[in-house]
Amino acid sequence: MSGEDSHANPFSPRVALALVVVGVAAFFALLWLIGSGLSDRQANNGGSHAAAKGLTGFAAFHQYLGRRGWQVSLVKSRGALAQPGVLVLTPPAQTDTKQLNHVVERRRNAGPTVVVVPKWTAYPIPRLRPEVRDGWVELAGQNVADWKGFYDDIALSLDKARTRKARTSWAGADQAGTLPDAAPVLSGAGPRLVPLVEATGSGRILAAYIADGGDYPRLRALASRAEPDRNDGGMAVYRYPVIFVFEPDLIDNYGFNSPANAAVGERILSAALNGEDRKVSFDLTFNGFGRSRSLLSLAFQPPFLAATLCLMLAALVLGWRAFNRFGPPLAATRALAFGKRALVSNTAGLIRRAGRLHLIGAPYADAARDRLARALALPHRLDPAQTEAAIDRALASRAPDSPSFAATAATLRAARRPTDMLRAARTLHSLERTLTK
């Protein structure tokens, strides 16, 4: 195999460019998947949150509002809980009430907050039958969350179960309907609760807002009872309301088989906004889907955006240079080529770069004298001056008009400029040829 064949390139530049482009695209796709959270675990897990499609979830309410023109989003970061608009919290029964109260209080100047109290105990149904879908659950009973120190000392209670024909009916927010099951109804009680939805007959509070001194005209218009008297001299506090939905079947997937349930949920959210933009966020952090801000998302936000752009430009430049360099490397050549001419050329280049040209005049003259001495068979006992005198006698007999060898050699030894050295060296070489040809 020849040297050229051994370095043959197995890929064309186009194939190599395609491989690089596909690799880079796959890498950025992976970064996007990680940064957008698509690599997280399945959210439709049968829980009681807006991403769950089981009976106890709120995916139907989430999708309903989106189709009604609301700007709907799912929140997986605690830092995003303070964004404007309505925030719907669907915490599980084992939630830390101190943490829940802290989140609610932080939002008092950001937007309305709706807290849906949990009631059902449910378990995911294994997909052993073809009709079972992802996220389906089996209801196993009801319980009252043990939320000690709950917001504003609100008390939770479950009333007794009813027969199938005696499902609880409700009224409020200019709507009326029935709950989807004859199971016990979860209700709340508190000194500052203003009912928005009540159980018909018993008057148990199924949804209410807190009368905390704020001015909530649209919520007040939906309320079935008057607000308690304020102790602040009638001065309204400018902050957003806190609303509690004690009976989750009003707005969960189980209760969304009734148009009245869908309408009452939207009415409560619209009244809480009091005419502001219809934005609503459903929290998933309390349900185990919270995650910190991704480093990838931070990389594309100030002040890190400038550094990210610089790195991308540097990577682009390196990639372009690498593509232009594509192909096998050229075969390395010898530092010193073969042959006398190459050896002389390399030596001359070394001397020239070292700046020592003026030191080679005397050695060159001595070498020329020694060569002529051997060519003329002069005795070895002669000293340099006698040898040069003998060379001059030989030149006088062969070429009477030739310059003196001794004088030319002395000129070469004394020369310091390259032109003077070259002229004297050429003369010595011409004299040497005259005597040796």
Render pLDDT for 219-235 as a digit per residue (tens, 0 to 9). Answer: 999 988 877 766 555 54
CA distance 271 to 217: 8
Structure token pair of residue 339: 């042959």
Do 365 and 412 touch, CB atoms closer than 8 A?
Answer: yes
Strands 186-189 and 155-158, by their bridges, are antiparallel
Secondary structure (DSSP) of 296-362: HHHHTSTTTHHHHHHHHHHHHHHHHHHHHT-SPPPPPPPSS-SSHHHHHHHHHHHHHHHT-GGGSHH
Structure pTM? 0.62
The stretch 211-221 carries a mean pLDDT of 88
Contacts of 128 (CB under 8 A, 6+ apart): none
Hey, which of 4-8, 317-321, 368-372 has the most confident mean pLDDT? 368-372
The stretch 336-359 carries a mean pLDDT of 75
The residue extents of the domains of the chain are 44-290, 340-436
- Tell me what the pLDDT averaged over the chain comes to: 83
CA distance 173 to 165: 25
pLDDT tens, residue by residue, 356-388: 777 888 888 899 899 988 888 888 888 889 988
The stretch 328-339 carries a mean pLDDT of 62
Q: With 70 as the cut, is the pLDDT of residue 151 above it?
A: yes
Do 139 and 122 touch, CB atoms closer than 8 A?
Answer: yes
Structure token pair of residue 162: 């009813």
Q: Which range among 75-79, 108-112, 146-150, 309-313 shows the weakest confidence by mean pLDDT?
A: 146-150
pLDDT class of 5 with cuts at 50, 70, 90: very low
- Partner residues linked to 244 by β-bridges: 115, 208
pLDDT tens, residue by residue, 22-57: 888 888 777 666 665 555 557 787 788 888 888 899
Q: What does the radius of gyration of the chain's CA atoms come to, in whole angstroms?
A: 48
Hey, which of 179-183, 203-207, 301-305, 327-331 has the most confident mean pLDDT? 203-207
Residue type, 334: R
pLDDT class of 143 with cuts at 50, 70, 90: confident
